[in-house]
Each structure stands twice: as C-alpha cells, then as structure tokens.
Structure 1
Amino acid sequence: MYSEAVIHALGNEYNAAILGAADEARSAQALSDELDIPIATCYRRIEELEEADLLEHEGRELSEGRRRVSVYRRTVDQVVVDFERGGYDVTVEERASVANKLDEVWRSISSS
C-alpha cells in the first residue's frame, strides 16, 4: 500500500511540512498561512498526500469568516525509509485513531 506513493509524495516540496503541521485537523488556508505556501500549491500538495494515504479529509468546520471549510489531518505518525541492499523499504506507523478505526471495521467484517 505504501512505498512508491509515499516516496513520491515526500519528495515534493512542502509535503513533509504539511504532514508535520497536520497533527490536528487543519484547513488548507490555515496550512498555507502557517507554512507560507501559496494556497493553490497547498491544495495540490494536499491532494498528493491524500492519494498516498498520508493525509485524510476529516470533515468540514466553520471558519473564522463563518464559511464551511474542509479540514485535513495526517493519517500517520511516522514514516521511515530504509535504503539498504540496493533498494528501499518504507515503514509507516499509522496514527493510533486511524489504526483503531481499521480494527473496528475488520472486527465488524469478521463477525458477519
């Protein structure tokens, strides 16, 4: 599931910074402002991170301007890339609440 997509996503400018800042649900505008990333670039990077399963759309919240905005949160706590034996291995530690959701889904499927 991870590996090439993760390597590609982390290789793009700003993506690691976005992941670092998205430990709590944040809007694209908040990320853009905090990290000094142009908003259009921020949206493109968010899309890349979602495609790599490193970031997820967590919902919609009311902004300071009283508009509904999408908020995003990282799905991982740690990514380790090990370059040994002429290749690479990617290890991803999922955020605890994400892992718990997956366990719940698996249990409900298994008991059916």
Structure 2
Amino acid sequence: MSRSRTEYDEVDSTVVLSALGSKYSAEILCAAGTPKSAQALSEDIEIPIATCYRRIEELVDAGLLTCEGRQLSEEGRRTNIYRRTLDEIEIDFSDDVPAFSRKHRTEAKNRLQDQLED
C-alpha cells in the first residue's frame, strides 16, 4: 500500500510515470499543497470519490503524495489527510530509462503554507 519515506527515492520510474499519467493525478497533486481529505480533494476537483481514492492510492504508492495523519470529518468520522511530497518533478527521457529530478517539499514550507491557509 503506502511506502516509507526512505523508499520514495527508490520508486520504479514506471510506477511514477503510470501514476502521473492517470486522469486527475496532476489536479490532485496541485490541490494537495495543503493537507486535505479525499472528500475535500474530490469536491475541489469535482471528480467522483471512488476515482479520487484510486488516484490517491496510486500517488501514495509512487511516493508523490503522503498521508499526513487523520482528522475528524464534519460527520464525525476519522479520515486520512493527504499532502503532496514534492513541488516539482522533472523527467529526463534521453537515456534508456527515464530519470527523475524532484524538488521535495520541506517541513518548513509545509508549516508556512499551513499558517497562510488559516
């Protein structure tokens, strides 16, 4: 299911490319700059919740999205909160195998962005 932080850099390039190539993945990553539930992402992007959950799982497995914890929903249920793990990704196709260059999000940037959203 989800990968540990140390495995993010070792994810197979085909997993990353597949996750990025899925419909709505880029929109989910853009919307997940701040922590959001699957329900909030689904509503923000206006996609079915089942589709949103599938894309979230692909993005987590690819190391592009992470579960930051859980919070109570408006209905009183515990729900996972997700945030993207990077701000930029560059894909180089000049060799036999794609190479990735990533600009990971720092905790400092996450905290600053969280304060700006409040």
TM-score under structure 2 length normalisation: 0.75
| 2:113 equivalent to 1:67 | no
Q: Report the RMSD for the aligned CA atoms in angstroms.
A: 1.7
2:105 alignment partner in structure 1: 95
In the comparison of the two structures, how many residue pairs are matched? 98
State the 4+ residue runs in structure 1 displaced beyond 4 angstroms.
none
Report the alpha carbon displacement of residue 97 of structure 1 after superposing the two structures with TM.
Answer: 2.0
Offset at 1:85?
Answer: 4.7
Pairwise CA distance, 1:68: 1.8
Aligned sequence identity (%): 50
Shift of 1:84: 2.1
Letter in 2 for 1:82: D
| Structure 1: tracts of 5 or more residues without a match | 99-112
State how far apart, in whole Å, the 2-side matches of 1:76 and 1:10 are. Answer: 13
Secondary structure of 1:17's counterpart equals helix
Matched, 1:56 2:66: yes
Using the alignment, how far apart are the partners of 2:96 and 2:53 within structure 1?
34
1:21 corresponds to: 31
Larger displacement relative to structure 2 (17-26 or 65-74): 65-74
Q: What is the CA distance between 1:69 and its match in structure 2? A: 1.2
Larger Rg computed on CA atoms: 1
Q: Could you tell me which residue of structure 2 aligns to residue 109 of structure 1?
A: none
- Structure 2: runs of 5+ lacking an equivalent: 1-9, 109-118
